[in-house]
Amino acid sequence: MADVIKELISEEKVKERIRELGAEISKAYEGKKLHIICILKGSIFFTCELARHITVPVTLDFITVSSYGDGRESTGKVRIVHDLDERIEGKDVLVIEDIVDTGRTLSYLLKMLQERNPASLTLCTLLDKPMRRTHEVKVDYVGFAVPDEFIVGWGLDYAQKYRNLPYIGILGDDE
Ligand code: IMP
Ligand code: MG
């Protein structure tokens, strides 16, 4: 049974929207410095593209959390696999995520980061599945709202595959 991927959002549309987000974020943080937290591995492609379109001074840090196994459903647990290298106290922090689905990962992570006393803490996600939310999360910047399908590409994987697709697709199978 082969995986079939249907294009949902073209490479051009993704890039155009990320440019817009970069402009919006640059405006919101005018006169400030921005400390970006990239959630590995999924957000790496989005973070790189977005950071290139942010015009205020940017520093970067990475955190690895794990909430999914190799399947399509959440395992229900959030684990910090690798924590940040730097302190975030007093910094204007922007967390970058690939997709907010149930909200479990982000509600946990944002609470944990808030306890480290950043000057401000906002969230930017490339994709949002609002109808799937079980845990409340305040999302400040959204690339696209997507339907309740399994999405791949732009960092989103299925069993670690397809992160490098240049477009955003829906994963099905050819049954
Ligand atoms: P949440 O905790 O349910 O919001 O799940 C967040 C994480 O689950 C994301 O960072 C993704 O890694 C993964 N995830 C959720 N939906 C999808 C999807 O449609 N495709 C690939 N990964 C997904
Ligand atoms: Mg993820």
Ligand 1 site-directed mutation target among 74, 99, 148, most atoms within 8 Å of CB:
99
Neighbour count for residue 50 (Cβ, 10 Å): 25
Domain count, the chain: 1
Predicted pLDDT at 39 = 97
Is 101 a known active-site residue?
yes
Q: Concatenate the DSSP letters of all residues of 71-140 into one string.
A: SSSEEEEEEEEE--SS--TT-EEEEEEEEESSSHHHHHHHHHHHTT--SEEEEEEEEE-GGG-SS----S
Cβ–Cβ under 8 Å, residues 115 and 143: no
Q: Indicate the pLDDT class of residue 175, thresholds 50, 70 and 90.
A: low
Predicted pLDDT at 107 = 93
Is residue 175 classed as helix, strand or coil in its secondary structure? coil
pLDDT in tens, 98-109: 999 999 999 999
Give the domain extent around 74.
3-173
pLDDT in tens, 42-92: 999 999 999 999 999 999 999 999 875 555 555 566 789 999 999 999 999
* Residue tagged active-site, from 101, 128, 148, 173: 101
Q: Residue 66: which CATH number? A: 3.40.50.2020
Measure CA 129 to chain center: 12
Predicted pLDDT at 78 = 79
Q: Indicate the pLDDT class of residue 31, thresholds 50, 70 and 90.
A: very high
pTM for the complete prediction? 0.93
Predicted pLDDT at 165 = 98
Output the CA 99–ligand 2 centroid distance in Å.
Answer: 7
Q: Which atom of ligand 1 is nearest to the CA of 39?
A: 10
